[in-house]
């Protein structure tokens, strides 16, 4: 199944956090998001989720040269920033959009959804299977030469 990234925009000028919210509103929001998370979990669609601290707390790390450069703050200045996210699994874009509608309703906010990029399979016989997948498909025992390979 494809994984999707649901992102929650926040206004960069305000940098809102849960600590800034009215306690009654916060409890209502927590209950609605909790119900949404439960629905995701029961459907087997939940992968992970989280809220982010404001961009002023960020550190940008650039190790594209000879040594790392650490810069306080976000890597880009913008009028909005990523405040939180879900990663879900869905059969297709339409299903992911339906979940995103529910997230938007629970949060009473805009939510953006995008599919995560999938690693392309190499061109091989047997439907793109290689290594262990090829062995399972064909029943042929793979021969591994060299150091041990650790699979995750």
Question: What is the pTM (predicted TM-score) of this model?
Answer: 0.72
Neighbours of 4 (CB within 10 A): 23
CATH number assigned to the domain comprising residue 101: 3.30.70.1060
Neighbours of 66 (CB within 10 A): 5
Tell me, yes or no, whether 67 and 132 share the same domain.
no
Domain count, the chain: 2
Range of the domain at 136: 121-152
The pLDDT value given to residue 126: 56
Tell me, yes or no, whether 93 and 137 share the same domain.
no
Tell me, yes or no, whether 137 and 66 share the same domain.
no
Tell me, yes or no, whether 113 and 125 share the same domain.
no
From the list 132, 134, 130, the residue with the least C-alpha distance to 119 is 130
Tell me, yes or no, whether 37 and 61 share the same domain.
yes
Tell me, yes or no, whether 110 and 129 share the same domain.
no
pLDDT in tens for each of the 152 residues of the chain? Answer: 999 999 998 887 777 778 888 899 999 999 999 999 999 999 999 999 999 988 889 999 999 999 999 999 888 888 888 999 999 999 999 999 999 999 999 999 999 999 999 887 776 555 555 554 544 444 444 444 444 444 44
* Cβ(49)–Cβ(39) below 8 Å: no
């Amino acid at each position: 199944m494809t994984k999707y990234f649901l992102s929650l925009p926040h206004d960069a000028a305000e940098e809102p956090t849960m600590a800034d919210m009215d306690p009654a509103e916060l409890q209502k929001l927590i209950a609605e998001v909790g119900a949404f998370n439960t629905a995701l979990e029961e459907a087997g669609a939940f992968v992970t989720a989280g809220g982010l601290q404001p961009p002023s707390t960020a550190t940008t790390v650039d190790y594209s040269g000879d040594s790392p450069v650490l810069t306080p703050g976000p890597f880009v200045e913008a009028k909005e920033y990523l405040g939180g996210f879900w990663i879900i699994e869905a059969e297709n874009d339409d299903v992911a959009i339906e979940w995103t509608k529910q997230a938007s309703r629970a949060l009473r906010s805009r939510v953006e959804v995008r599919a995560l990029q999938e690693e392309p399979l190499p061109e091989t016989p047997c439907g793109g299977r290689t290594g262990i997948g090829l062995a399972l498909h064909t029943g042929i025992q793979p021969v591994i030469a060299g150091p041990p390979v650790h699979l995750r």
